A and B are shown apart, each in its own frame.
Chain A
Amino acid sequence: MDSSSDHDLETCTVQDLDGYRGALGGLTRRQFLKYCTGVAATLGLSSLMGIRIAEAATAATRPPVIWLSAQECTGCTESLLRAYHPTLETLILDMISLDYHEALCSGAGHQAEAYKAKSMKANWGKFVLVVDGSIPTRDGGVYCMVAGKPILEAVKEAAEGAAAIIGIGSCASWGGIPSSDPNPTHAKSVHEVLPGKTVINIPGCPPNPYNFLSTVLYLLTFGKPPALDAKNRPKFAYGRLIHENCERRPHFDAGRFALEFGDYGHRQGFCLYKIGCKGPETHANCPAIGFGDVGEGNWPVGTGHPCFGCTEQGIGFTKPLHALAKVQTFAPPTAFPAVDAPKGEGISPAAAAIVAGVAGLAVGAGAMALRGMDDESDSSANPRDGEK
């Protein structure tokens, strides 16, 4: 971002992407278009859509975003900070205008609150509201106060003027940890406290940052949310069970399971279903895109830990970690072969005797058949020899 201040970002359009340095968060035009095309692919769109995404992301007026944090751990923001295509600063400085975010805004206290109010007033009906964390509702929501008022009220107030609302993380999507039993604060998800509003849910603890980024860019590009499932999760990311795309799935189908941590099957990378993997009942694209941009296999199952179902209400933080998942695709047979099956026993005396017996019988029968053949000589020439 060194020299971006030399140029006026607001006047630039996608047509002169090469015109100035730094405008694309240090990316070259080629890298940037490649990224946008990648996003289009993640969303399952045609590669031509990459251009439209690029145009939307570099549009003259950047859409304002208000980010409210309720009962949360900042894990969602932390994981967003570790996105590298684009980096978060590319997103918040060049693509959107992040007008309020408690962990990231440079201002503090009254200054930050005043800027939030100003931005919301100026962009009423146009800004994107992102909420992470669950909303406490007990005792009027006093268990999470920001700037002297319950976050419940802040969310309701901001939702009135929002063009789109995104709940990021499991807490915002369905309540997450704070809503687990005994739920002392009566924590609820964002869509539960905003009846009648459409909230796009990006569950996960934390969610993969690219699921969030892709959703945001889709919103910017098309002005509407991507296709959502019954729980308002984008279908491109949460349309399938982890089990369906899991790299260990062949082990499941072949009945090769880790039975405890560190056993033979576990060291071999076998399926983790029997030590409590919730992949068979959890919807997410974790096996497909991985975490943290460090290559493949960098997700819980990839590192040898069973999935604990963080994206799925009623599974994550609810079901015991090592309880057996309820398989939603095909139930496995009740009996599977053992993982420590012997690798072959070699020849047994009985088998050797049988083979030898058959060989002897064949040689003997052959010899008997040969005996006397051709004795009734000229047999081949005289078809009459075979009298009965």
Chain B
Amino acid sequence: MTAITHRPLGGHLVTKPFLILGLFVLIAAYFILRRFLFGMGDVSNMSNGYPIGTWVVLDVVIGTAFGCGGFAMALLIYIFNRKVYHPLMRPALLGGVFGYTLAGLAVMIDLGRYWNAFNLLLPWYAQPNSVIFEVALCVMAYITVLWLEFCPAFLERMSPEIRQRFRLDRLQAFLKRYMYVLIALGVLLPTMHQSSLGSVLLILGYKLSPLWNTIWLPLLYLISALTMGYGVVMMEATLVQRTFKTPSEAALFARLARVVAGLLIGYLALRWGDLLYRGHLGLAFAGDWDGNLFLIETALFLAPIFVLLSRRRASQRWQFLAAISLLAGGSLYRLNSYLMAVQPGNGWTYFPSAPELMITIGVVCLEIMLYLLFIKTLPILHGSTTESHGRPS
């Protein structure tokens, strides 16, 4: 395998977009402060009927799916040994690092009695039959693994004096030697918790429309997380390429397109086949709220299949559109199954309050800010403009 040279992008850190994003982060910080001073009710519309609100659904369930880029690429590169995609690995990993870390932050904001959270780590309180417990532990472990996997990027950046003083070379060698363990964990852990995010919904029973509530929820969540992982890598890479004029990866993506399309076809086949088998297909065409949401979801999943299987997949524009559609479909699937298609009954209604939304937006803005900061200062993007590392000839 050709050695890939990653390098920092450089450039000004404090730019206009950076300041605008920072403003939103400050607004969110204000409301987060209020949440911790005056309680959840002060900023959030969550209730006993809808105990799961936008913080969990957008920042955790959808946020970690966006963070699945690292997982999806690691699976492809290391498990299926497709080394050609290696240039995409580090940026994808970085997306994962922030997606998951900030999901963890969002959970701490969302936990009503966050000061009890440490009990999760006390084995004598463990409830191994709980899906949520599994998700919590698994996500915590994965955040650790992600940061460890990401460590070499920091270490490479350290000045020679510091490297010598703290014997960082040995640490780096150690990490390199045992990186396969971390990579294996990095594939295993998301497989566990991304499917568990689907299993969580099984408890909703009749509250969730049969269009979403199926015994296959875990597998559907896993497949859609994978496709979203590839989608986010495509989108991120394209945006970065456009903004910073780095080498285009469009040719790589053209190859990746077939993998993604295959997964999407599998996903839709399972989803529709299951509906047909259970006899609930009629609900999809009932013309009501749930049915229409389901059809929109399906359309958003179908569009990328057609694009990615046609000759348009070589076009960066169409790739980008396909990735957007794919991400929108996956996000809508999660939003529907966690919130919009959930009917707790007894007159409960939910729409996030403005402060609640601002916190979510702030978390996303923080994610983008940190992403920009990291790619400018750390060796994340591959900087080679002359080599064609493993491109199809």
Segment at the B interface, from A149-157, A177-185, A372-380: A372-380
Contact A348 B251 (CB under 8 A): no
Residues of chain B touching chain A, judged by Cβ–Cβ distance below 8 Å, are 41, 45, 47-50, 238-239, 241-242, 244-248, 250-251, 254, 314-317, 320-321, 324, 346-354, 356-358, 361, 385-386, 388, 391
Given A348-B354, A386-B245, A387-B245, decide whether A373 and B347 contact each other with a Cβ distance below 8 A. no
Given A343-B349, A346-B351, A354-B357, decide whether A384 and B385 contact each other with a Cβ distance below 8 A. yes
Closest residue to A358 on the B side, CB-wise?
B361
The minimal Cβ–Cβ distance linking B39 to chain A, given in whole angstroms, is: 8
The minimal Cβ–Cβ distance linking B212 to chain A, given in whole angstroms, is: 21
Contact B41 A337 (CB under 8 A): yes
Contact B348 A344 (CB under 8 A): yes
Residues of B within 8 A of A380 (CB): 248, 250-251, 254, 314-316
The minimal Cβ–Cβ distance linking A119 to chain B, given in whole angstroms, is: 55
Residues of A within 8 A of B358 (CB): 354
Given contacts A344-B49, A380-B248, 4 further A-B contacts (CB under 8 A): A369-B242, A384-B385, A386-B241, A386-B245
Closest residue to B9 on the A side, CB-wise?
A388
Given A350-B354, A379-B248, decide whether A366 and B324 contact each other with a Cβ distance below 8 A. yes
Q: How far is the CA of A62 from the CA of B50 in the complex (A)?
A: 62
Residues of B within 8 A of A348 (CB): 351, 353-354
Q: How far is the CA of A92 from the CA of B320 in the complex (A)?
A: 87
The minimal Cβ–Cβ distance linking A212 to chain B, given in whole angstroms, is: 37
The minimal Cβ–Cβ distance linking A201 to chain B, given in whole angstroms, is: 34
Residues of B within 8 A of A293 (CB): none
Q: Does A355 contact B (CB under 8 A)?
A: yes
Contact B48 A341 (CB under 8 A): yes
Residues of chain A touching chain B, judged by Cβ–Cβ distance below 8 Å, are 254, 337, 341-348, 350-351, 353-355, 358, 366, 369-370, 372-374, 379-381, 383-388
Contact B241 A370 (CB under 8 A): no
Residue with the highest number of chain B CB atoms closer than 10 Å, among A342, A344, A346, A353:
A344
Q: How far is the CA of A310 from the CA of B120 in the complex (A)?
A: 38
Residue with the highest number of chain A CB atoms closer than 10 Å, among B385, B388, B391:
B385
The minimal Cβ–Cβ distance linking A110 to chain B, given in whole angstroms, is: 66
Residues of B within 8 A of A370 (CB): 317, 320-321
Contact A343 B348 (CB under 8 A): yes
Closest residue to A342 on the B side, CB-wise?
B47
Q: How far is the CA of A220 from the CA of B72 in the complex (A)?
A: 70
Residues of A within 8 A of B246 (CB): 386
The minimal Cβ–Cβ distance linking B22 to chain A, given in whole angstroms, is: 16
